[in-house]
Structure 1
C-alpha cells in the first residue's frame, strides 16, 4: 500500500539512504552526503509541509520529491528520486509536484508554471512517463572529475600581475557573491540571489571560506572567483568558477583551476570534481577537458510548462 506524507528534518537519514541507493544505480557508487540533505531540509525558503513528499510502500521509503521557487514568479525547480521498482509511486509524487507548482504560480501572480528537473541521463525514473506528461529535455550538464596527487599537482606560479586571496574576511565574501552574480548572469538557469539568499544556498555556516578565492589582475581589479568546498566524502568540489567577461581568455580560469588542483592534492584529496553546462558559451567544457578532467556522469534538465 502506498502512503505519502511531507518530509521533515528527522527524515534526513532515510532520504540520504534513498538518494545513495539511486546514486549506486545511476553512477555506480553512493555520492550523497547526509549534511547536504540536512542543509536542504532546513533551508529557510523550503516549506516542507507543502513542498516536499515522501512515498512509502510497506513502510519503506521508495520515492522523494520537493520543489522550491527562488527566482521569478512561476519559475520552479524540483527534485525527484525513485527506486526503479516503484514507478507508480514516482509518478504519484510527480503529479503532486505539478499540482503544487500550479498553485505556487497562481499565488505568485504568474500565468504559467515553468518547472525544471535535473535527472541523470539514465535515470531510475522512466522518462517515457515524463514525456507522456509533457516534459521535455532542454539542457545537458556534465559532472567532470580529475585525479589528484601532490607530485603531479604542485601549486602553480601565478601569471604576471595576478594575485589570489581567500574569502575568510566578510568583505571578501560579499565581493565573491558579487562576482558570482556578475560572471554567471548569462548562464542557463542562473537565478539572481541576494547575499543572504546566497549564503543560505551555500549552507555557509559550514563552508570553509579559505577554499573560496578571488583573483585580481593588476590594472583591472577583481577579475574572477572560484568557490570550492571540501565537505563531500567522494571528492573535493568546485561549485563556481567565473571570470569577468572582459577579462576572459587571459589564463585566469586555468590558473584558478590548477591552484585548486594543488590545494586539494596537498589536503590529501585524490579527486576534484565540478559540473559544467555542455552548451556553455564561455568554452568551459573545453577548458576542463584540456586540464585533464573527464566525464564522471551526465545530467539532463527536463522542463514542463503548466497552466
Structure 2
C-alpha cells in the first residue's frame, strides 16, 4: 500500500490525537491523550511544523505514524516523539530516517558536533524496539508513571507543622518564585533543560494554567524552599507535572506535605485519581516518597538515546 509522508498542520490535531489514543489503548489498555495537549505541542513556539513534524498516511488516508522534534537545549540535546501503529513499522522507520537527519542538522545549526537524541517510549511500545536497536538506539533511563486514588474522606487537607506555611500562586510575584524554585530544585535531575520564566509562559501548554493549583512551601527562618505544580485539565486524572524542594530543605517532610495537599485539593474538586511521573534513578528520594504516600506504578517509560554526528 502506498505511503505518504508530510509535515503536520494544526488542523491535523484531531487525527493525531486519535492515533495517540489508539496507541494508548494498545500500550496501557485505555486512551489517555487529550486534544488540547496535542494542540499545545503543535502550537509551541519552537515547533516549526514544516521542518520538525511528520505524518505517515496509508493509501486510504489513515494516519499510521506521527513524529515531532523539538530543541530546548540549543546545543546537542534534541528530543523527539514517535508513535506508530504495530502493523506499520515501515512507516515508523520512514519517519525515523527524517527525524534523525533533522536532529543532526539542528545540532549542526546549534554549532555542536553531534546530536544526542532522546525518545521516550512505553516499556512495551507499539514500536518494534529491535528496529531501534538495529539503528543504534539504546535505553538510558527508566521512568514510572504513578497513580493513586483520592477521595475527600481519605484525603483531608494536611495541617502544616509549626514553622511551615503553604500558599498558592494566584499572585504574579509568587508565580515567578514558584518557577524559580522548581527550576533550581530540578536542576540536577537527568535530562533537565532550564527554561526562563517568560519562555515557559509562552508555551501554549501553560496558557490556561490554574495558578490556584500551584503551591509554595515556606519555612520560617529560611524562606521559600519548595513548590508543586498541579494541573486539572486532563480527562483521565489530576496530574502533578513537577514537585521540587531545594536540596538544603529536604528531609523535613515538605515534599510529602505538598503532595498530600495536592491530593486533598484534587479530591475536593471531584477527582478520584491523581498521577505523576518519576525517574526511577532519581537521587532526591522522590520514588520512595511517592511510594510512602500510596502511589503505585501505572506504566513504565524508557528513554531511548542515539548519538548522531552533525554534518559539516
- Let me know the Cα RMSD of the aligned residues: 0.8
- Residues 278-293 of structure 1 mapped to structure 2, 5 A cutoff: 278-293=280-295
Query: Aligned partners of 1:243 and 1:3: how far apart in 2?
Result: 48
Contact 2:164 2:217 in 1 (8 A): yes
Instruction: Give the corresponding residue for 1:167.
Output: 169
Which residue among 81, 96, 120 is the counterpart of 2:83? 81
Q: What is the CA deviation profile of residues 91-122 of structure 1, one whole-angstrom value per residue up to 9, with x for unaligned ones?
A: 11011000111111111111001100000000
- Residues 116-195 of structure 1 mapped to structure 2, 5 A cutoff: 116-195=118-197
Q: Secondary structure at the match of 1:233?
A: coil
Q: Secondary structure at the match of 2:207?
A: helix
Q: Secondary structure at the match of 2:118?
A: strand
CA apart distance, 1:201: 3.6
- Residues 1-307 of structure 1 mapped to structure 2, 5 A cutoff: 1-58=2-59, 59-201=61-203, 203-307=205-309
| Aligned residue pairs, count | 307
Contact 2:66 2:95 in 1 (8 A): yes
Q: What is the CA deviation profile of residues 204-238 of structure 1, one whole-angstrom value per residue up to 9, with x for unaligned ones?
A: 22111100001101111001000000000000000
Query: Aligned partners of 2:14 and 2:173: how far apart in 1?
Result: 36
Q: Secondary structure at the match of 2:151?
A: coil
Query: Aligned partners of 1:88 and 1:232: how far apart in 2?
Result: 32
Q: What is the CA deviation profile of residues 54-102 of structure 1, one whole-angstrom value per residue up to 9, with x for unaligned ones?
A: 0000210000001010114121000000000100000110110001111
Q: What is the CA deviation profile of residues 124-152 of structure 1, one whole-angstrom value per residue up to 9, with x for unaligned ones?
A: 00000100000000000000000011100
- Greater mean deviation of Cα atoms: 20-29 or 202-211: 202-211
Q: Secondary structure at the match of 2:299?
A: strand
Contact 2:182 2:227 in 1 (8 A): yes
- Greater mean deviation of Cα atoms: 159-168 or 193-202: 193-202
Query: Aligned partners of 2:205 and 2:32: how far apart in 1?
Result: 18
Contact 2:85 2:127 in 1 (8 A): yes
Scaled by the length of structure 2, the TM-score of the pair is 0.97
Query: Aligned partners of 1:197 and 1:129: how far apart in 2?
Result: 36
Q: Secondary structure at the match of 2:112?
A: coil
Q: Secondary structure at the match of 1:131?
A: helix
Query: Aligned partners of 1:199 and 1:296: how far apart in 2?
Result: 29
Query: Aligned partners of 1:28 and 1:173: how far apart in 2?
Result: 37
**Runs (5+) with no aligned partner, structure 1:** none
**Runs (5+) with no aligned partner, structure 2:** none
Q: Secondary structure at the match of 1:85?
A: helix
